Structure 1
Amino acid sequence: MLPFDAAPSGTPDTSHWDLMQIQDLPYPHPGVPDARSGPRFLWWLFRNQLGGQLKALAWGLLHFASVSALPFCVGIAVQAVVDRSGARLALAGALLAVCCAGNALGDTFLHRAAITNWITAAARVQQLLARKAALLGSALTRRVAAGEVVAVSTGDVEKIGWFVEAVSRFTAAALTIVLVCVGLLVYQPALGVVVIIGLPVLALAVLPLLPRATRRADVQREKAGRATELASDTVAGLRVLRGIGGEQLFLDRYRRASQEVRHAAVRSARMWSLISAIQVLLPGLLLIAVVWHGVHLARDGRIGVGELVTVYSSVMILTYPLRHFEEIAMAYSFSRPSAKRAARVLSLERATDTGGSRAAGTLPSGDLHDPDTGLLATAGRLTAVVCGDPDAAGRLAERLGGHPSEKGTPVTLGGVPLDELPLDCARTAVLVQDKDPVLLSGTLRELLDVPASGAVEPSEALAAARCEDVLAALAQGSVGAEDPMDARITERGRSLSGGQRQRLALARALVADPEVLVLDEPTSAVDSHTEARIAEGVRGLRDGRTTVVFTSSPLLLDRAERVVFLHEGRAAAVGTHRELVRADPRYRAVVTRETDEEADARTAGADGAGWDAAGSDVAGVETVGAGRGRALNSDGRHGGPESDRREGGRLTDDRLADDDVLHQLEEIEETA
């Protein structure tokens, strides 16, 4: 995708864009598109490169006029030979030379102008899509399918550019046909009338077939979009699919989707081949009619041989510009759904004004407060948020980053509503890292080269995120990289395990050192030993900075300075982890995944196991509930006596028998 600058989205269109060339790309600002519909968007693109269109039209007229004038020159030459006129033969030769020169010149520069128009139109669409993606952020793929976004930003931009540049060539061809018909009518009225009647029939004969061809093309696009989306989803989850043995299942699904695309493409191609056949058949029939009528006129002496040759050659030559009628119909048929998809993406807007109603200046600081849930993250402290619904937790994390709530109540930072801040200021003040962060390809140094306060060095962030083994793995896997910071990371970090990717993403967020850092399940893919060390590292590095962690892991919760428990969308309890485990059974049920039956069994002391006042298992960790012998994983979930956690396709022993967790439970029992 083409790069773009950070010019404000409200910058108006400027007329100097019409004169820009390919070397001037990217545009200082691509403009504000008319995204109300696909045709309006296509018209907007055409208007914004009007200079290039006029240039292509001029060269196109020179090219088509030169080609169409050749039959007149040949007719003059033939008649001159018949009449034995050397002067007219010389004139015909000179005219032929001029026409050939005009043809060569016009064809060369028409091709140059057409390609320029195509590339600049596609580049403008790509810039617009890139800006829209940057503006919407993660909200884009929630409102538009990922496959559709990929289709718009790749194949669709080429089809849109094709139609935009084809308009000028079609206009030149249509004007040339009109001029030739008028010239034939003046030159030889008897045959010119036949041509004038026949050419509109040729041009309009395929119109009844275009709606059906367009529908078939739309079906093909739709199926291709679904196949692309399925492919992207399969590739993104390939590691998981292999782990559960579902790789073949999804491969079969993609194979079926691919076959559906092939069948739809064949049906669409059949219709377009029929249109092409008609475009060949009808000009042939017209040519036969002209020759048949012309022979009779020549036999009667009403026209000369040169005139017959001229009309015959003109009709034959006109099949060349007539092909542009088929091309413009095909280009519009293919580009219309593409433009519709692009307009749909470009019409998406943030619910809040990206410019903000407050002037950019000093970033606000203080408590982070969400009025909808009552969540209050005290300034300078590590606050953990426990929510039984992971989806609700993800939505709340996004809302804390400045995204509006369903009720429209803004989140405030130090009493300042985030939606009143300019978008870049809001993102600088509050950084949200979701549970599925993306690692861009490049070196580790480039990955950590993000806008930051400068207070946290990359080495400190990597140490806090416990990335020692990640650095060793990167150094070992990169040939010629002595410094791990110069080791290359593959696309989306696919060569790393899930836990390694998660820790690198955490280090990147720590390097940014925002005023408020919101982390959504930052350790869900790491083992309990590493999780405990990460909790200590994050708390130490973020000391004095506001940090909000969405998690249900006892290890992280125990190291938080403040825990907020959300129940049914509201802050139901606030305190430390140990206080809430002892005092709030709802909190204990979420953190330990305790079922009602297990709670009843614990209360009754089934199998000699029970919970003390602190909410800890009296027997340690081996018996939880009705003698089921289950242990707690590091994220608070129950597992078997040998509970395993899958990390990036590899199984790691993750039982609560780890020393850190046992020590935590022993301390809770002692305080009880």
Structure 2
Amino acid sequence: MQIRDLPYSDPGDPDVRSGPRFLFWLGRNQLGGQLKSLSWGLLHQLGIAGLPVTVGLAVQAVIDRSGGRLALAGGLIVALGVLIAVGDTMLHRTAVTNWITAAARVQQLLARKTAELGSALTRRVAAGEVVAVSTGDVEKIGWFVEALSRFAAAATALVVICVGLAVYLPSLGLMVALAMPVLALAVLPLLPRATRRADEQREKAGKATELASDTVAGLRVLRGIGGEELFLGRYRRASQEVRRAAVRSARMWALISAVQVLLPGVLLISLVWYGATLARDGRIDVGQLVTVYSAATLMLFPLRHFEEIAMAYSFSRPSAQRAVRVLSLHRSAQEATVEGVTPTGDLYDPATGLMAPRGRFTAVVCGDPDEAGRLAERLGGHAETGEEDDKAAAAPPSVLLGGVALDEIPLDAARAAVLVQDKDPVLLSGTLRELLDVPSSGLVTADAALEAAQCGDVLSALAQASPDDDGDPMRTRITERGRSLSGGQRQRLALARSLVTDPEALVLDEPTSAVDSHTEARVAAGIAKLRQGRTTVAFASSPLLLDAADRVVLVHEGTVVAVGNHRDLLRTEPRYRAVVTRETDDETAAANAVNGIGDGSTVRSDDVPAMKSIEEIEERA
């Protein structure tokens, strides 16, 4: 796999049983790149290992006054220099390729999982953790994959050099060969503590990132309530904890580095002392001593890769664990089994008893906005399920469309059949034409959707900013998240985008919460007219929108408790009236007392057809 071939057509099915297994899966899927990097690394390392032999030959040739052998040694040094340069260049190229392709694979896996879970992702995992995984953690995972092949080349080179020295000069070579395993493994007792401190640092850094991300996302609200200093203090304390954890971790890695300098130094001193003694006694030549000493010195370079791979693993393991925590989430406990089916019919939620008949405009009233948001996502097939089998088994049943469970059809088909517009939809940067260029049935034009969503003032404002002389608003660029527009304008443009798609069932969560009452009434009428014959569900508590609906459903504590039209429910259902008219508890009790209703009882439509309190409520609604 080359960088130019990215992105992957299929990033694969990762092993998410644990962080180490995920890292092994990544390395196994890049076996070709790892072998290339290993080959070039061996060429580089063995080229370096050959230098001591040629230097020893050159020194001995000078001592023996042999010009021919000196020329031969010089030629070998030049050839080894070329091999070292080529090997190092290609090693760096292939290693970086492994890094980038591994990071790209992880990012594609995360993007695929994000698209699969949708808005349910941030309810299962903190938004800041998702950001941390997709940025810093991806880099650290790539670092380990990249360092793995270089470490394998260094370890292989050390074995070859030790065996070669033992054969070349047993008296000194065996000393080096026996010392190398000690030098390579001396830091192992320190690694668990270093790994724990690195994990602690990464955990604190992840929490600080989450805090910063969440603070930035809610900065406008914080400014409104004067909470900037409070959250600034929290982030300052979190960042100081990260700094202290980083210092503690750095001290352990500094100790490991010191050990890897001290022990090789002791080996070199011992080697020089013992080798000089042998050379003085005439048992070895000076050239042989230079060869062994040079080889032992150059072996310190591949030894550094042992420290690097330990550090890369200690940092990438918690990063891989966080990635696994995201990648192991599932949209549903069931596998998609119905292929090639685009279901039609009534939209039904068995968990709450909510029924949205086909072709009708159904409004849903929930006293709890969070409950409304969760129910809207369930209707779109984004039901929460546990990460474990026992939790998944306890998950609520799937929503049915035309009697077909949304969990049993492919994800693309489910999202084409049921579209959910969140309470806070996002507008991407681009022109208005690009914003409305979304997959659709083709039956609803952009002009019709914009008219239904009452975007006339938006079009006028965009026409004035149009780059064309004729003032074409469709070519006007909209900034990221639509920050150049007001909240109501953004909401209506998002509604128009949803209407253009023309899905079998459209679920809207508070689609008119940011517009004035006059515009809201026209928007409600526009939705009802444009979606005639299509299933539409709107979660709202506005009387203007509720009055435009064909039927209204009241959901209380996760269960449907009343169904009817807006005006009948105002008369007959105190809980509905309390939500829609924003009554206080005292006002509800007074109305019930006037109407002769006990606490919690329901007014029947044939009790009092026209009571003053009800009339007042209807006027206020």
Q: So what's the TM-score if we normalise by structure 1?
A: 0.85
Give, as a single letter, the amino acid of the residue that structure 2 aligns with 1:182: V
Output the CA distance in 2 between the equivalents of 1:286 and 1:437.
66
Output the CA distance in 2 between the equivalents of 1:477 and 1:270.
58
Q: Are 1:234 and 2:215 counterparts?
A: yes
Q: Are 1:359 and 2:339 counterparts?
A: yes
2:361 alignment partner in structure 1:
382
* Compared CA separation, residues 529 and 483, structure 1 to 2 (3 A): same
2:411 alignment partner in structure 1:
423
Deviates more, 1:439-448 or 1:75-84: 439-448
1:521 alignment partner in structure 2:
510
Deviates more, 1:592-601 or 1:233-242: 592-601
Matched residue pairs, number? 600
Q: How does 1:8-23 map to 2 (within 5 A)?
A: 20-23=1-4
Greater RCO, 1 or 2 (C-alpha within 8 Å, sep 6+): 2
1:156 alignment partner in structure 2:
137
- Conserved? CA contact 1:59–1:106, under 8 Å: yes
- Conserved? CA contact 2:433–2:474, under 8 Å: yes
Give, as a single letter, the amino acid of the residue that structure 2 aligns with 1:360: G
Q: CA deviation at 1:293?
A: 1.2
Which of 142, 158, 168 matches 1:187?
168
Output the CA distance in 1 between the equivalents of 2:351 and 2:483.
38
Output the CA distance in 2 between the equivalents of 1:255 and 1:457.
51
Q: Are 1:665 and 2:616 counterparts?
A: no
Give, as a single letter, the amino acid of the residue that structure 2 aligns with 1:578: R
Q: How does 1:590-605 map to 2 (within 5 A)?
A: 590-602=579-591
Output the CA distance in 2 between the equivalents of 1:422 and 1:167.
38
Output the CA distance in 2 between the equivalents of 1:407 and 1:278.
53
Which of 24, 30, 33 matches 2:14?
33
Give, as a single letter, the amino acid of the residue that structure 2 aligns with 1:324: H
Structure 1 residue matching 2:299: 3-state secondary structure: helix
Output the CA distance in 2 between the equivalents of 1:619 and 1:346.
55
Give, as a single letter, the amino acid of the residue that structure 2 aligns with 1:516: A
Q: CA deviation at 1:615?
A: 7.0
Deviates more, 1:452-461 or 1:494-503: 494-503
Give, as a single letter, the amino acid of the residue that structure 1 aligns with 2:144: F
Structure 2 residue matching 1:385: 3-state secondary structure: strand
Q: Which runs of 4+ in 1 moved over 6 A?
A: 477-481
Q: CA deviation at 1:318?
A: 0.9
1:457 alignment partner in structure 2:
445
Give, as a single letter, the amino acid of the residue that structure 2 aligns with 1:205: A
Q: CA deviation at 1:602?
A: 3.8
Q: Are 1:313 and 2:267 counterparts?
A: no
1:629 alignment partner in structure 2:
none
2:124 alignment partner in structure 1:
143
Q: CA deviation at 1:476?
A: 5.4
1:204 alignment partner in structure 2:
185
Q: CA deviation at 1:183?
A: 1.5
Give, as a single letter, the amino acid of the residue that structure 2 aligns with 1:209: L
Which of 486, 489, 497 matches 2:478?
489
Q: CA deviation at 1:594?
A: 2.0
Q: Are 1:244 and 2:225 counterparts?
A: yes
Q: Are 1:432 and 2:411 counterparts?
A: no
- Conserved? CA contact 1:352–1:404, under 8 Å: no
Structure with the higher fraction of residues in helix conformation = 2
Q: Are 1:294 and 2:248 counterparts?
A: no
* Compared CA separation, residues 162 and 337, structure 1 to 2 (3 A): same
Output the CA distance in 2 between the equivalents of 1:51 and 1:313.
34
Identity of aligned residues (%): 72
Q: CA deviation at 1:521?
A: 1.2
Which of 67, 72, 75 matches 1:86?
67
- Conserved? CA contact 2:362–2:537, under 8 Å: yes
Output the CA distance in 1 between the equivalents of 2:615 and 2:381.
46
Structure 2 residue matching 1:132: 3-state secondary structure: helix
Deviates more, 1:83-92 or 1:515-524: 83-92
- Conserved? CA contact 1:582–1:615, under 8 Å: no
Structure 2 residue matching 1:440: 3-state secondary structure: coil
List gaps (5 residues or longer) in structure 1.
Answer: 1-19, 622-663
* Compared CA separation, residues 353 and 389, structure 1 to 2 (3 A): same
Output the CA distance in 1 between the equivalents of 2:485 and 2:198.
41
- Conserved? CA contact 1:66–1:102, under 8 Å: yes
List gaps (5 residues or longer) in structure 2.
Answer: 385-393, 596-602
Structure 1 residue matching 2:538: 3-state secondary structure: strand
Q: CA deviation at 1:468?
A: 2.9
Structure 2 residue matching 1:28: 3-state secondary structure: coil
- Conserved? CA contact 2:467–2:475, under 8 Å: no
Output the CA distance in 1 between the equivalents of 2:572 and 2:496.
35
Deviates more, 1:536-545 or 1:612-621: 612-621
1:659 alignment partner in structure 2:
none
Which of 542, 546, 549 matches 2:535?
546
Q: How does 1:318-329 map to 2 (within 5 A)?
A: 318-329=299-310
- Conserved? CA contact 1:582–1:614, under 8 Å: no
2:600 alignment partner in structure 1:
none
* Compared CA separation, residues 232 and 404, structure 1 to 2 (3 A): closer
Output the CA distance in 2 between the equivalents of 1:615 and 1:327.
82
Deviates more, 1:470-479 or 1:290-299: 470-479
Output the CA distance in 2 between the equivalents of 1:470 and 1:352.
43
Q: CA deviation at 1:548?
A: 0.7
Q: CA deviation at 1:463?
A: 2.2
Output the CA distance in 1 between the equivalents of 2:614 and 2:16.
65
* Compared CA separation, residues 58 and 601, structure 1 to 2 (3 A): same
Structure 2 residue matching 1:460: 3-state secondary structure: helix
Cα RMSD for the two superposed structures: 2.3
Which of 456, 476, 483 matches 1:468?
456
Output the CA distance in 1 between the equivalents of 2:559 and 2:396.
16
Output the CA distance in 2 between the equivalents of 1:83 and 1:128.
64
- Conserved? CA contact 2:594–2:613, under 8 Å: no
Q: So what's the TM-score if we normalise by structure 2?
A: 0.92
- Conserved? CA contact 2:433–2:475, under 8 Å: yes
Structure 2 residue matching 1:573: 3-state secondary structure: strand
- Conserved? CA contact 1:152–1:342, under 8 Å: yes
Give, as a single letter, the amino acid of the residue that structure 2 aligns with 1:518: V
Which of 99, 102, 113 matches 1:118?
99
- Conserved? CA contact 1:380–1:547, under 8 Å: yes
Structure 1 residues 471-495: Cα deviation after superposition (integer angstroms, max 9, x where no partner): 4444556777943222323333334
Output the CA distance in 2 between the equivalents of 1:213 and 1:616.
76
Deviates more, 1:326-335 or 1:227-236: 227-236
Output the CA distance in 2 between the equivalents of 1:616 and 1:547.
34
* Compared CA separation, residues 443 and 195, structure 1 to 2 (3 A): same
Q: CA deviation at 1:603?
A: 5.2
Output the CA distance in 2 between the equivalents of 1:136 and 1:309.
64
- Conserved? CA contact 2:468–2:475, under 8 Å: no
Structure 1 residues 181-222: Cα deviation after superposition (integer angstroms, max 9, x where no partner): 112112222211221232222211211211111111111111
Output the CA distance in 1 between the equivalents of 2:220 and 2:455.
21
* Compared CA separation, residues 497 and 227, structure 1 to 2 (3 A): farther
Q: CA deviation at 1:70?
A: 0.6
Give, as a single letter, the amino acid of the residue that structure 2 aligns with 1:37: S
